[in-house]
A = this chain, B = another copy of it.
Amino acid sequence: MNAFETLAAFYETQREAELPCSATDVMRLCLLDWLIVSRAAKGDAVAESALAYAAGQGEASLFFGGGASARMAALANGTVSHALDYDDTHFAHIGHVSTVVIPAALAMGEARGASFETILRAALMGAEAATRFGVWLGREHYQIGYHQTATAGAIGAALAASVAAGHRDVRAALSNACGFAAGLKAQFGTGMKPVNAGMAAANGVEAVLMAEAGLAGSETVFEAFAATHHGLKDTAAWDEIGEAWLFEAVTHKFYPCCHGTHAMIEALRDALQRMPSSERTLERITVRTHPRWMSVCNKPSVKDALEAKFSYRALAALLVQTGGAAVDEAGLQSLFPMRESTGALMASVEVIADEAVSEEASRVTLEAGGASAQAEHDLRAPMSFEARLEKLLAKGEGVLPKGEAARYWDVVQSADVTALLSLITE
């Protein structure tokens, strides 16, 4: 079966099947995280612009109040949830997932009166489709300049919106969405980066609405998309689809900085705990990372907190200064204006590009007074549900008023769609 047939068959067999507990649990955590990063974006200029653009009349709720058509709600809410760039990432897919599929599932689900369970299923199936379509497209698609979050995301969003709308068939929606899918990395650093995520959600919703109106594209469009968009068509992307859930390997950001620094942060926090406390003054910090990150997160000098988010050295200095506390905005701000001691700490950090370290991992060595400590962290390492939840709640405490994240988790656990929508609009 080709890619199109495979996803259509996945849809047909899984639409009413029992879903695996573990993947569904991960989607619940993603929903919690999505609520945290979206509600933390209140007041963000791009988020507010998108909401103002979308606000109108319609059957779907917008963050922080008001309504819009399902397409416009998906567009605006998807933009809101990516505005802080603090949402989840799938490294195999090379894309942000929940920020596209949850808004599509929710907007269409609300418009059609779907249950919480249906919306959760829609988001999960859409996330799996986006992830696998992203793997199918492969690295070259991303490397040459496509924003996979948006391109593969539109396919996931169409699948999610189809589930949420209760359709038996997804074929027309998949073809339509593939024809609409767009998004370039050239927009990074502008308001259009979050809009790419929102537009992918909107494209998925519109693909379904047009299919309902009787408009259907060709079933050969996936192949044409790969041929035109530098897709590798990696057939391994479809291995065990419906049995294994690749989406489960999604990673959450627990710190508000570039995802490429997160493995280093975890490894350094571990290494600091292993260093004898008598050794107060570190002489050298060695960070090994995959070469792909050197152009992204290895800024040699930094002038503000934003640049520090892309600097191994600045983040390492902050971690040493705080004794390994979780990185947060206040900590990043505290680095500036930069003190001499911070500069000295940064100078003691050596960053080494090492092909032997995986893209999602980092290895850190500390040396002080003859003693040394080492730790390694791989973001792909399994994390228990409880550990993920604890870290997400702590993340929420960092960006929202006290107790908010725990309240959001109660709503997710309640499986009450009315409570969920109230939370979004409040």
Using known A-B contacts A145-B227, A175-B192, determine if residue A213 contacts B183 with beta carbons closer than 8 Å: no
Check B199 against A217 for contact (C-beta < 8 Å). no
Check B179 against A50 for contact (C-beta < 8 Å). no
> Is A225 close to B, CB under 8 A?
yes
Cα distance, A146 to B229, chains bound together (Å): 10
Cα distance, A45 to B224, chains bound together (Å): 25
Select one of B178, B190, B209 contacting A216, CB under 8 A: B190
Using Cβ atoms and an 8 Å threshold, which residues of chain B touch A229? 228
Smallest beta-carbon distance A121→chain B, Å: 26
> Is A180 close to B, CB under 8 A?
yes
Check A191 against B214 for contact (C-beta < 8 Å). yes
Considering the complex, give the chain B residue whose CB is closest to the CB of A227.
B145
User: Scoring A residues 340 to 376 as 1 if CB is less than 8 Å from chain B, else 0, what string do you get?
Assistant: 0000000000000000000000000000000000000
Check A228 against B145 for contact (C-beta < 8 Å). yes
* Count of interface residues, chain A, beta-carbon cutoff 8 Å: 49
Smallest beta-carbon distance A199→chain B, Å: 7
Check A180 against B179 for contact (C-beta < 8 Å). no
Smallest beta-carbon distance A174→chain B, Å: 12
Check A221 against B187 for contact (C-beta < 8 Å). yes
Check B187 against A217 for contact (C-beta < 8 Å). yes
User: Scoring A residues 37 to 58 as 1 if CB is less than 8 Å from chain B, else 0, what string do you get?
Assistant: 0000000011001101100110
Check A195 against B215 for contact (C-beta < 8 Å). yes
Check B49 against A214 for contact (C-beta < 8 Å). yes
Using Cβ atoms and an 8 Å threshold, which residues of chain B touch A49? 210, 213-215
> Is A380 close to B, CB under 8 A?
no
Smallest beta-carbon distance A49→chain B, Å: 4
Considering the complex, give the chain B residue whose CB is closest to the CB of A202.
B206
Cα distance, A64 to B53, chains bound together (Å): 28
Considering the complex, give the chain B residue whose CB is closest to the CB of A144.
B228
Considering the complex, give the chain B residue whose CB is closest to the CB of A154.
B182
Restricting to A45-87, which residues have a CB under 8 Å from any CB of B? 45-46, 49-50, 52-53, 56-57, 69
Using Cβ atoms and an 8 Å threshold, which residues of chain B touch A228? 144-146, 184, 229-230
Cα distance, A196 to B134, chains bound together (Å): 24
> Is A22 close to B, CB under 8 A?
no
Using known A-B contacts A175-B192, A195-B210, A227-B145, determine if residue A186 contacts B53 with beta carbons closer than 8 Å: no
> Is A223 close to B, CB under 8 A?
yes
Check B191 against A215 for contact (C-beta < 8 Å). yes
Check B145 against A224 for contact (C-beta < 8 Å). yes
Check B216 against A186 for contact (C-beta < 8 Å). no
Using known A-B contacts A215-B53, A217-B190, determine if residue A184 contacts B195 with beta carbons closer than 8 Å: no
Considering the complex, give the chain B residue whose CB is closest to the CB of A54.
B213
User: Scoring A residues 211 to 237 as 1 if CB is less than 8 Å from chain B, else 0, what string do you get?
Assistant: 001111110110111011110000000
Check B184 against A182 for contact (C-beta < 8 Å). no
Cα distance, A218 to B215, chains bound together (Å): 33
> Is A176 close to B, CB under 8 A?
yes
Cα distance, A176 to B187, chains bound together (Å): 9
Using Cβ atoms and an 8 Å threshold, which residues of chain B touch A209? 53
Cα distance, A221 to B229, chains bound together (Å): 16
Using known A-B contacts A50-B213, A144-B227, A187-B221, determine if residue A196 contacts B182 with beta carbons closer than 8 Å: no
- Beyond the given pairs A179-B183, A186-B221, A190-B216, 10 more chain A to chain B contacts, judged by CB atoms under 8 angstroms and listed by A's residue number, are A46-B215, A179-B186, A179-B187, A181-B182, A185-B224, A187-B217, A191-B217, A192-B217, A195-B210, A228-B230
* CB-based closest 9 A-B pairs: A186-B224, A192-B217, A53-B213, A182-B182, A49-B214, A145-B228, A186-B221, A191-B215, A49-B213
Interface on A for B, CB 8 Å cutoff? 45-46, 49-50, 52-53, 56-57, 69, 144-146, 175-176, 178-192, 195-196, 199, 209-210, 213-218, 220-221, 223-225, 227-230
17 examples of A-B residue contacts, CB within 8 angstroms: A50-B213, A50-B215, A53-B209, A56-B69, A144-B228, A175-B187, A184-B225, A186-B217, A186-B224, A186-B225, A187-B218, A189-B218, A191-B215, A191-B217, A192-B216, A192-B217, A195-B215
